[in-house]
């Protein structure tokens, strides 16, 4: 029975991985080949790469309503179709406005996939397995990001954008077979017990709700916003010059890609392990406190001039902390959702995460423009430390005993 339940998590994660191939490829290819997309200015690249995240802010509540009233399989199938259409468009449609529309389509697809994945983990897990299964889900769908960036970038260079977009769209469509076979035809609302009534809005009055929403916002703002948007700039500032290795010029962009690839590569193995440890007696909150405090220290050290090898160690340390933060934050949100409203809480959590990820680059570059990169990282270190201390005080007060 356990294997059958775990297989559902594996399937929804691999379906998500197949659907995210085109989006990941775009982040590597569009900044370089933007004219091939029919764009006329670099600012259009920035808008297109962020549009899917912005559209999710108003869309996520609608997706939550959808899963309350429609079968989960219907939502996943719709997401696959939308993902395939948007991926195919990246190779065959030209011009800013058409691509903007397709990026919004992908935003809807991702909202359906993400919430569908969260609900699947909640459905098949218990307090002893939720962290491990959440880690497994996050790690496996991350393989799509790794493949899309590495294979997509290479194949566009060797073949063509049209061929890669068609190939990735085809892989998305093939995943429909797995959706029909393994995704259950159930409505989330039909599984709710009275204490988990998804039409009950009382979860907004619980302190646990606001704690996990605030944590999700901060986690996403730092990891998916500030860090990702400034990583190349940090390396460019800290690296005095490019260097040559085996005849290949290694610059800031290359090192940034390498740092990201390492994380995508270890997540399928490390994230489930982190989740499993958090399921056991050590507990999620203690791990969360440690990860926030170490992350804050790491950002403080980013402000100092250090040797390049030590900078790489710091970057990999933060990437390790980011794996822990994402896994444990998602698991904590799922814990609260099982005690209140599954769809309602997880919908609010996805909004908080998307809002943080969208706010991060804006906040970061305003600080960089008016002050400096070092000031941004110092402020980030303070914010991370503040969240760590906040959870430490909650732990000492034992005021969230259900989650400890």
In a domain, 130, yes or no: yes
Number of domains observed in the structure of the chain:
2
Q: What domain range includes position 172?
A: 2-181
* DSSP three-state, residue 80: helix
pLDDT of res. 251: 62
Helix axes 228-238, 373-397, angle to 10 degrees: 130
pLDDT of res. 14: 94
313 φψ region: left (φ > 0), alpha (ψ -120 to 50), beta (else): alpha
pLDDT of res. 399: 56
Residue 239 and residue 151 share a domain: no
Q: Is the dihedral of CA 96, 154, 9, 185 positive or negative?
A: positive
Residue 254 and residue 310 share a domain: yes
Residue 147 and residue 270 share a domain: no
Is 120 in contact with 16 (CB distance < 8 Å)? no
Residue 208 and residue 115 share a domain: no
How far apart CA 92 and CA 99 sit, in angstroms, is: 10
Which of residues 114, 149, 181 is at a domain's end? Answer: 181
Residue 114 and residue 8 share a domain: yes
CATH number (domain holding residue 351): 1.20.1250.20
Residue 313 and residue 173 share a domain: no
What is the mean pLDDT of the segment spanning 290-308?
A: 93
Which of residues 181, 215, 238 is at a domain's end? Answer: 181
Which of residues 181, 211, 229 is at a domain's end? Answer: 181
How far apart CA 290 and CA 233 sit, in angstroms, is: 27
Q: What is the pLDDT of residues 164-211, one digit of tens each?
A: 999 999 999 999 999 988 887 766 554 444 444 555 567 677 788 889
In a domain, 186, yes or no: no
In a domain, 17, yes or no: yes
Is 60 in contact with 69 (CB distance < 8 Å)? no
Q: Identify the residue with better confidence: 359 or 247.
A: 359
Supply 366's token pair: 């305003």
In a domain, 193, yes or no: no
In a domain, 194, yes or no: no
Q: What is the pTM of this model?
A: 0.80
Residue 208 and residue 97 share a domain: no
In a domain, 197, yes or no: no
Is 377 in contact with 299 (CB distance < 8 Å)? yes
Question: Phi/psi at 250 (nearest 5 deg)?
Answer: -105, 115
Residue 212 and residue 308 share a domain: yes
In a domain, 147, yes or no: yes
DSSP structural state of residue 245: E
């Amino acid at each position: 029975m356990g294997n059958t339940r775990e297989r559902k998590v594996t399937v929804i994660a691999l379906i998500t991985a197949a659907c995210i191939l085109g989006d990941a490829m775009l982040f590597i290819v569009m900044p370089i080949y933007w004219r091939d997309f029919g764009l006329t200015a670099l600012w259009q690249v920035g808008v297109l790469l962020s549009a899917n995240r912005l559209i999710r802010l108003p869309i996520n509540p609608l997706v939550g309503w959808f899963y309350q009233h429609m079968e989960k399989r219907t939502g996943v199938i719709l997401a696959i179709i939308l993902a395939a259409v948007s991926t195919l468009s990246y190779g065959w449609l030209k011009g800013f406005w058409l691509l903007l529309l397709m990026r919004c389509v992908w935003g809807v697809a991702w909202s359906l996939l993400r919430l569908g994945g969260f609900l699947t983990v909640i459905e098949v897990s218990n307090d002893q397995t939720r962290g491990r299964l959440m880690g497994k889900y996050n790690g496996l769908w991350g393989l799509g990001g790794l493949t899309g960036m590495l294979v997509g970038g290479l194949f566009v260079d060797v073949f063509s954008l049209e061929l890669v977009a068609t190939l990735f769209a085809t892989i998305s469509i093939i995943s429909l077979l797995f959706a029909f076979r393994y995704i259950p035809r159930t409505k989330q609302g039909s599984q709710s017990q009275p204490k988990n009534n998804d039409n009950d809005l009382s979860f907004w009055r619980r302190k646990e709700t606001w704690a996990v929403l605030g944590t999700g916002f901060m986690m996403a703002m730092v990891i998916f916003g500030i860090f990702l948007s400034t990583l190349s700039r940090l390396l460019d500032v800290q690296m005095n010059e490019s260097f040559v290795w085996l005849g290949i010029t290694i610059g800031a962009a290359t090192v940034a890609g390498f740092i990201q690839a390492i994380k995508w590569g270890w997540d399928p193995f490390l994230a489930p392990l982190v989740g499993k440890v958090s399921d056991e007696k050590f507990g999620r909150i203690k791990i969360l406190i440690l990860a926030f405090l170490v992350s804050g220290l790491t950002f403080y050290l980013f402000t100092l001039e250090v040797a390049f090898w030590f900078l790489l160690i710091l970057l990999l340390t933060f990437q390790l902390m980011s794996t822990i933060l994402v896994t444990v934050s998602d698991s904590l949100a799922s814990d609260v959702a099982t005690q209140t409203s599954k769809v309602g809480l997880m919908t609010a959590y996805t909004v908080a995460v998307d809002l943080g990820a969208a706010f991060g680059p804006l906040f970061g570059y305003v600080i960089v423009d008016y002050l400096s990169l070092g000031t941004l990282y110092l402020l980030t270190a303070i914010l991370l430390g503040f969240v760590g201390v906040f959870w430490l005080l909650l732990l000492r007060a034992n005021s969230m005993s259900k989650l400890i």
